[in-house]
A and B are shown apart, each in its own frame.
Chain A
Amino acid sequence: MKAIFWRTIKDRRIVLLIYCLGIVGFLWMYVGMFPSFADKKEQFNQLMQYYPKEMMQAFGITEITQIFSSLENFLAMEQFNIVWPIVVIAFAVSIGGASIAGEIEGGTIETLLELPVSRIKIFFAKYLAGLVLLAIFTAVSVFAVIPLAAAYHVDYQASHYVTTSVIGLLFAWAIMTLAFFFSVVFNSKGKAYFIPVGILIAMYVLKILASLKDSLKDLQYTSFFYYFDANKSLIDNKIDNWSYLIFGGVIVVFTIIAVLWFSKRDITVS
């Protein structure tokens, strides 16, 4: 199991590096820009008043005047409500989707299955490797703020980033688990990528619809993007208990179904 775990990490290390560099690049840009925005926050706040309220809500911005009041407010809007979820979804889906379906599609699953290792161990070796990769990505993409903020002499709240990394990892982990589940069910990587991405796009649309119309408000509870609340974690340093419950529930339930499915299914390589 250890050999499969380390091999998965090794095979993915370049991809991890590219994702980390990309997200840190964005972060660097935003942290570097923040002092200029903060200096002219009155003008920017005035400008922001002209944006439609619904559009701002769609991006998770409720307190428009507070956007430039702290680095955390600014990053919650610019990085962690928009860029970070998109990048982490791509990374988590690529890890989960390729895990089993990628091996089946490439035929290499036979190389693993012919070895004296149970399917459950193969699954968990790949699953844990994926989780470690996500944890590294989350840590780098969130805690890189601290040295960057120090370099630009911007005040920051370290504990808020710890809280954000926790909810961020849970969000990413739940998505990876979903992708793992579809990777176990299907023989092609394409399906294992696109179905979870499709589900997440649908969830995002539901959250936007819920924010636009009061009668649709309850739809927000069906969306991962409601439970991944960067404003709450980064600005208020809090995580809603429902977020733990929903992400934890998805992780546990889909992991169990996926591992059972993988243990029992026929594996045919064409």
Chain B
Amino acid sequence: MNAVEVKNLKKYFGKVKALDGISFEVEKGEVFGFLGPNGAGKTTTIRLMMDFLRPTKGEIKLLGKDAKEDSVELKKHIGYLSPEDRLYKGWTGEEHVDFIRAIRGNSAKAQALVKELDLDLKKRVWQLSTGNKQKLSLVLAMMSDPDLLIMDEPTLGLDPILSEKIYQTLDKLGHEGKTIFMSSHYLSEVEKVCDKVAIIKEGKLVATEHIAELKRKKMYSVRATFAGDFEPDSFKIEGVEIKDEHHDFVELVVKGDINQVITILHQYKLKDLEIQRATLEDIFLEFYK
């Protein structure tokens, strides 16, 4: 059984087509990344899955049940993490945990998560840093040991250390067989955490691929300045495009494996070398025009 099944999902806000007929599936136990630039429709999709919004057309099934009709029953088995904290400023962390426990009736993992994330539950939310608010949100989302975790940009605005901690937590959950659906606009984040990824652009799904496949779509910008002459033709190989060249300089766009270009560059004496990984936006533009 698929943990998530989205069929021909459309959501219009007046004349604005936020989602225009997207379909995808997430297998049980899969860590699924939902990738796209800001405004692509990631959050709208998640809000529809959580029944915060109602679809204009289409169907969403989570854990085999209808996301709208069986919303209450489904939410017993779903954990949700918002991109920004949705916490009550005047409550302490403990009050949040108690509140969720009173409604969900299950806080199996709360203590372990609090310890793992090194969180002080005695403080009020307004006293917490952005990172600690996100930790608390994460505890609340995962404390009842959900079968499906839906996360909207889980590391947005967090420092690399905390982001890494969250990746470790997600990795652990993935190994426990939990299904994770997470949106992101960081390719590196999705690569690190997810098994599969769907790419959304302007409300339409442009690709759904396994991460291994996506990795082959890596792209780099290479700028090399040579100490002597070089042969531009040596860079005319599959997956490499020469964007600019002078007598001692070349700028390349490399799709896929960077090693073949490194091998060629190694033949020359270099004055300077700059290799930049292409942004997600560049990759989108290149692969999903």
Contacts and interface: CB of A to CB of B under 8 A. Distances in A.
B86 A116 contact: no
A110 B46 CA distance: 12
Given A117-B72, A266-B53, A266-B54, A110 B88 contact: no
A268 B53 contact: yes
B162 interface: no
Interface string B37-61: 0000000000100111110000000
Contacts, number: 63
A112 to B, nearest CB: 9
B178 to A, nearest CB: 16
A118 interface: yes
A268 B86 contact: no
B150 to A, nearest CB: 9
B32 interface: no
B52 A11 contact: no
Contacts of A260: none
A107 B75 contact: no
B76, B100, B103: most-surrounded residue (chain A CB, <10 A)? B103
Nearest to A267: B52
Nearest to B54: A266
A114 B86 CA distance: 11
A107 B86 contact: yes
Interface stretch (B77-85, B198-206, B249-257, B272-280): B77-85
B89 to A, nearest CB: 8
Nearest to A264: B54
Contacts of A268: 47, 52-53
A37 to B, nearest CB: 44
Interface in B60-110: 71-76, 78, 80, 82, 84-90, 99-100, 102-104
Contact of A267 (B53, B80, B104): B53
Nearest to B85: A107
A3 B251 CA distance: 62
A117 B103 contact: yes
Contacts of A267: 47, 52-53
A108 interface: yes
A134 to B, nearest CB: 22
A184 to B, nearest CB: 15
A132 interface: no
A202 B88 CA distance: 35
B54 A7 contact: no
A104 to B, nearest CB: 10
Interface in B97-132: 99-100, 102-104
B75 A111 contact: no
B81 to A, nearest CB: 9
Contacts of B71: 118
Contact of A114 (B80, B89, B90): B80
B74 to A, nearest CB: 8
Task: List the 5 shortest-distance A-B pairs measured between CB atoms, nearest first.
Answer: A3-B102, A116-B75, A114-B80, A110-B86, A116-B76
Given A107-B85, A110-B52, A269-B82, 20 more contacts: A2-B102, A3-B99, A4-B103, A11-B88, A106-B88, A107-B84, A108-B88, A110-B80, A110-B82, A111-B140, A113-B50, A113-B51, A114-B75, A116-B74, A117-B72, A117-B75, A118-B71, A266-B52, A266-B54, A268-B53
Interface of B: 47, 50-54, 71-76, 78, 80, 82, 84-90, 99-100, 102-104, 140
